Chain A
Amino acid sequence: MTQDYRHSGPRHRLLSVLVENKAGVLARVAGLFSRRGYNIFSLAVAPTDDARFSRISIVVDVESSPLEQVVAQLDKLINVVEIGELHPDEAREAELLLVSVTADAGQRSQVIQLVGVFAGRIVDVGHDAITVMVAGTPELLDDFESLMRPYGISGIQRTGRIALPKLDRLAAAQAEAGIA
């Protein structure tokens, strides 16, 4: 089964990049990727609780370029403060999916059932289609997406992956550093 639409897999590594919240920072990051031939699979950016910084979550396709080199080049950007790789085993990952699925009256109940299984929400209903929102891990969304495909997808938008380190790991690290 071809799975090139899948958003999860070993080629995809998640970098959590803390940047200074300054004009043009996203262009610097995106420009670096394009001029060095690195592939961004997805990218999500938003300010952190500290207004001076934003966090960019970048899913990098490491097939063409080693992650170590991507990180080292990113680190050279003056506005990049910190880069961490979040391994799926050590992180809580989430992504949001909006999908419009063709579902006439006959198919609608099947689709709604699946939406229920994936704890999704129906956000719009038309005559022969519904729009569904699902939040979850990229793997979960991949599964949901593949289940929806047979019905016919007329529109789909995913936000890209965001993540934070798992709490138990964070607590251990803080204890080590002497932070209560």
Chain B
Amino acid sequence: MELTGAQALVKSLEMQEVEVIFGLPGGAILPVYDPIIDSPIRHILVRHEQGAGHMAEGYAQATGRPGVAMVTSGPGATNVVTALADAYMDSIPLVCVTGQVATSAIGTDAFQESDTTGITLGVTKHNWLITHAADIPQVVREAFHIATTGRPGPVLIDFPKDVATSPMEWYWPDGVDLPGYHPASHPDPAAIRAAVDLILAAERPVIYAGGGILKSRASKALLELADMTGIPVVTTLMARGSFPDSHPLCLGMPGMHGNYTAVTAMQKADLLLALGSRFDDRVTGKVSAFAPLAKVVHVDIDKAEVGKVRRPEVGIIADCRLAIEAMLEALTARGPVDKGRLSGWIDTLNKWQERYPYTYDRSEPEHAEVLAAGGSRRPTLKPQFVIERLRALTPPDTILVSGVGQHQMWASQHWAFEYPNTWINSGGLGTMGFAVPAAIGAKVGRPDRMVWAVDGDGCFQMTAQELATATAERIPVKVAILNNAYLGMVRQWQHMFYEERYSEVYLSPDLPDYVGWAEAMGCVGLRVESPEEVTPAIEKANAIDDRPVVIDFRTDSMEQVFPMVPAGASNDDIVVHPSQRSEVSR
């Protein structure tokens, strides 16, 4: 069967069981957009290529399947680079197809030419420039294989226009030919035994669970490990939801804005069991002062992560789920685990949790704290309160998507996660503008779930045009803007570290008019200015299922994220909420 290159590409995507492509056509990719008309694959037309990339990321994180984006050459390709970099940092499987000028024009500074494979070299797991139509099925198969196996990540296929129009004899390859690609899978039994020895000997162990738990679908295994050993678990920003927040052993998020107990437990631990986590600087703080007493068992599928930041006592290069299952087996073989010996440690952690929970100054008029304070509290809307109400009023399996900044930290702190893959955010790259398109992608992948984006006003303005995509494609996402009229996280740093000299962080609560913007894009727009209005607005939004909803929550501009470990400081120097400071004694 003879096909054009374009037909072969679309057919190859069908062979890979792609159900949706997020994209935007243009000159060089035009030939591929013709066979898309006849393909069962759904195409979602975005308004900006960055949106296509983030939608594919949201889709991938919500479903565990690779996200697919398709854009044209030149500016189309450069616009998607941010999303590729984001996916690379957070190990999200993505396949991006970019149009390219004809092979004969490559290198001539042709119209809409860019060196796409060169530009994306550092932000993709691998990329290809296809020069012969006959290579298409093989490359597509390899692209999906590389994106989804080992440490997942984004890949890019650069597709010249003449390749798209050339004839090729259709085939589907039996497998991949990648002599240099051998992702790790099973753990070394000797390393597992060594890890188990350390686990059984530890007196103050902590499981440091990272995004690898979700990538390897190891949530169930992690739960078993915690239950079997009684070891408490911290879940990093990328691992929120991988272990239920309601579990008695869950300590929540560690790191720069993690809670006191999670941060301090790691500092005092004698064993860190790092499972699919990478000792990111936002978790460790000053590396030389991080968890100084701890031996480390580090499980990672990426060999380069083991020993990159902290040299482990036991390094295990393996799929996280397989490694945890091997530990469970080895532990079982050694007989019942004496969990009682950890009771002193658990008591200490529980005391910390009681003394230093996440907290904020309540502002609801009927709240006991506010009544007790008389008229001294300003009647403002607290962003944390909005998140708490949102959590209480939405189904437990709601997918929460966030942008980057204060709202992201409050969302991670105050949302109680119960299920894996219910939290989607930009962790490593910190990409403002991630939330709206990622939420759209998540909703496309999981139409059965309620999807809420919690966004900042700064973030929202970067990619909100994709709400037009959501309306046009009938993707009913819901967006809660925590509108504090500032680039809040930058403002917080200027407050704390630049003597309150606020430089270029004010955005205005009214410009743009977010309700008007929402309505202009076919969404329902709501505005909430006081605590009493929060619940009715969320209930109203939850009841709307035929279009996107945007709520403009006018939140307290002065609110700051606590706790906080200042950048470069030791985690021992964690700054808790002002109301808890008198109690800190060290």
Contact = CB atoms under 8 A, between A and B. Distances in A.
Interface of A: 19-20, 23-24, 27-28, 31, 35, 68-69, 72-73, 75-82
Contacts of B118: 24, 27
Interface string B124-150: 011001000000000000000010000
A24 B181 contact: no
A179 B304 CA distance: 33
A45 to B, nearest CB: 16
Contacts of A73: 304
A28 B128 CA distance: 12
Contacts of B125: 76, 78
Contact of B178 (A23, A78, A82): A78
A23 B106 CA distance: 14
Given A24-B118, A72-B304, A82-B180, 7 more contacts: A19-B180, A24-B129, A69-B304, A72-B308, A73-B304, A76-B304, A78-B125
A68 B180 CA distance: 18
A75 B305 CA distance: 12
Q: Is the interface of A mostly helix, strand, loop or mixed?
A: mixed
Nearest to B117: A24
Interface in B84-143: 117-118, 121-122, 125-126, 129
B303 A72 contact: yes
Nearest to B307: A68
B203 interface: no
A164 B542 CA distance: 68
Interface of B: 117-118, 121-122, 125-126, 129, 146, 178-181, 302-304, 307-308
10 contacts: A23-B129, A24-B118, A31-B122, A69-B307, A72-B307, A75-B304, A76-B125, A76-B303, A78-B125, A78-B181
Given A24-B117, A72-B303, A81 B308 contact: no
A28 B121 contact: yes
For B125, B126, B178, B304, which residue has the most chain A Cβ atoms within 10 angstroms? B304
A82 B179 CA distance: 9
B180 A79 contact: yes
Nearest to B146: A78
A31 B122 CA distance: 7
A80 B180 CA distance: 5
Nearest to B178: A78
Contacts of B304: 69, 72-73, 75-76
Contacts of A35: 122
Given A28-B121, A69-B308, A20 B303 contact: no
A78 B117 CA distance: 14
Contact of B180 (A23, A27, A77): A77
Contacts of B121: 24, 27-28, 31
A75 B303 CA distance: 9
B122 A81 contact: no
B179 A81 contact: yes
Among all A-B residue pairs, the 3 with the closest Cβ atoms: A72-B304, A81-B180, A78-B126
Nearest to B306: A72
Nearest to A70: B304
Nearest to B182: A75
Nearest to A79: B180
Nearest to B302: A76
A173 to B, nearest CB: 20
Contacts of A28: 121
Contacts of A19: 180
A80 B182 CA distance: 11
Contacts of B146: 78
A78 B307 contact: no
Contacts of A81: 179-180
Contacts of A31: 121-122
B150 to A, nearest CB: 9
B93 to A, nearest CB: 15
Contacts of B178: 78
A149 B164 CA distance: 58
A68 B117 CA distance: 27
A170 B302 CA distance: 30
A24 B118 CA distance: 9
A78 B142 CA distance: 11
A156 B496 CA distance: 55
Nearest to A31: B121
Contacts of B303: 72, 75-76
Contacts of B302: 76
A75 B126 CA distance: 13
B98 to A, nearest CB: 15
Contacts of B122: 31, 35
Nearest to B127: A24
A80 to B, nearest CB: 5
Contacts of A24: 117-118, 121, 129
A20 B308 contact: no
Nearest to A83: B180
A58 to B, nearest CB: 16
Contacts of A72: 303-304, 307-308
A20 B308 CA distance: 26
A56 B571 CA distance: 43
A20 B307 contact: no
A20 B117 contact: no
For A69, A78, A79, which residue has the most chain B Cβ atoms within 10 angstroms? A78
A27 B146 CA distance: 20
A23 B121 CA distance: 13
Nearest to B142: A78
